[in-house]
């Protein structure tokens, strides 16, 4: 194939985590290069023999040690000068993980991985602010019509966690009663027999998301959709 093209293809990941208080973003520190000491999204150049999603997953694992089970393509960024090193287009992905499930890789020679509150991000390299913005938008909108919030929580969680998660992501308060009513009405949450004891106050039942049931319902035309005042 004769094409005279000198464009490199990179993949980058916007990885969200939730701690119970804050929405967080996973970043790595650039130790070398023109953007030294800035922070960047995990990512890197795609290999000739791997497909896009495999590529991000690999880079993510190499650079931070995490292996998300939710990974979704976001957008492809291709402005001519987005990377001062040359023409690079970046296929970006959004990943959701529960930070508790991983210990971040310690600093390697290439990078140092760390969680940052989405509200206090350090200076980011390249056009990564734009990519993060796209990720946030996607997360905020998708959480309304896809049950992706559960990817950020423990397998079993008290209702209040789910509620706080939504409030944190959407950055607004929601009515507890209406939220619970609506969520439960979908019939995709299962009450477990366990309960969780908060540091003070009444213990809460633990719930879990029943993915099988969700898939079943979805086949039948059901749509997860949650809105707020």
Does the protein bind a copy of itself through residue 34 (CB under 8 A)? no
CB 144 within 8 A of CB 137: no
Of residues 37, 76, 141, 178, which one binds DNA by CB under 7 A? Answer: 178
Q: Which does 181 bind (CB under 5 to 8 A by kind): DNA, a copy of itself, none?
A: DNA
Closest CA to 61 of 22, 11, 133: 11
Q: How far is the CB of 151 from DNA (least distance, A)?
A: 20
- In the stretch 39-68, what mask flags binding to a copy of itself with x, by CB under 8 A? ------xxxxxxxx----------------
What does the DSSP assignment read for 2-41?
Answer: ------EEEEEEEEEEE-SS-EEEEEEE--SSTTTTSEE-
CB-wise, 48 or 193, nearer to a copy of itself? 48
Q: How far is the CB of 19 from DNA (least distance, A)?
A: 16
Q: Please compute Rg for the chain using Cα positions.
A: 19
Rounded Cα distance between 186 and 184, Å, is 5
Rounded Cα distance between 127 and 129, Å, is 6
Q: Which does 117 bind (CB under 5 to 8 A by kind): a copy of itself, DNA, none?
A: none
CB-wise, 77 or 207, nearer to a copy of itself? 77
Q: Which stretch binds a copy of itself (CB under 8 A): 5-13, 16-24, 150-158, 213-221?
A: 5-13
Q: Which does 78 bind (CB under 5 to 8 A by kind): a copy of itself, DNA, none?
A: a copy of itself
CB 198 within 8 A of CB 204: yes
- Residues near 122 by Cβ (< 8 Å), separated by ≥ 6? 27, 38, 39, 116
Of residues 2, 6, 202, 220, which one binds DNA by CB under 7 A? Answer: 202
How many residues form the binding site for a copy of itself (CB under 8 A)? 27
CB-wise, 173 or 192, nearer to a copy of itself? 173
Rounded Cα distance between 74 and 14, Å, is 9
Task: Measure CA 198 to chain center.
Answer: 26
Residues that bind a copy of itself (CB under 8 A): 1, 3, 5-9, 45-52, 73, 75-76, 78-80, 85-89, 91
């Amino acid at each position: 194939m004769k094409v005279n093209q000198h464009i490199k293809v990179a993949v980058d990941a916007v990885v969200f985590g939730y701690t119970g208080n804050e929405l967080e973003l996973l970043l790595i520190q650039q130790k070398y290069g023109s953007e030294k000491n800035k922070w960047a999204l995990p990512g890197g150049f795609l290999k000739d023999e791997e497909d896009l999603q495999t590529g991000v997953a690999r880079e993510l694992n190499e650079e931070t040690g995490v292996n998300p089970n939710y990974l979704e393509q976001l957008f492809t960024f291709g402005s001519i000068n987005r990377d001062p090193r040359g023409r690079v287009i970046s296929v970006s992905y959004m990943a959701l993980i529960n930070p508790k499930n991983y210990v971040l890789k310690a600093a390697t020679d290439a990078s140092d991985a760390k969680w940052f509150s989405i509200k206090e991000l350090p200076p980011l390299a390249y056009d990564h602010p734009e990519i993060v913005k796209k990720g946030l938008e996607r997360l905020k909108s998708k959480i309304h019509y896809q049950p992706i919030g559960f990817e950020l929580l423990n397998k079993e969680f008290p209702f209040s966690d789910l509620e706080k998660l939504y409030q944190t992501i959407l950055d607004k308060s929601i009515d507890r009663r209406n939220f619970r009513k609506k969520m439960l009405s979908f019939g995709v949450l299962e009450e477990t027999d366990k309960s969780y004891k908060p540091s003070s106050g009444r213990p809460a039942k633990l719930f879990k998301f029943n993915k099988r049931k969700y898939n079943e319902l979805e086949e039948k035309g059901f749509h997860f959709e949650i809105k707020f005042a």
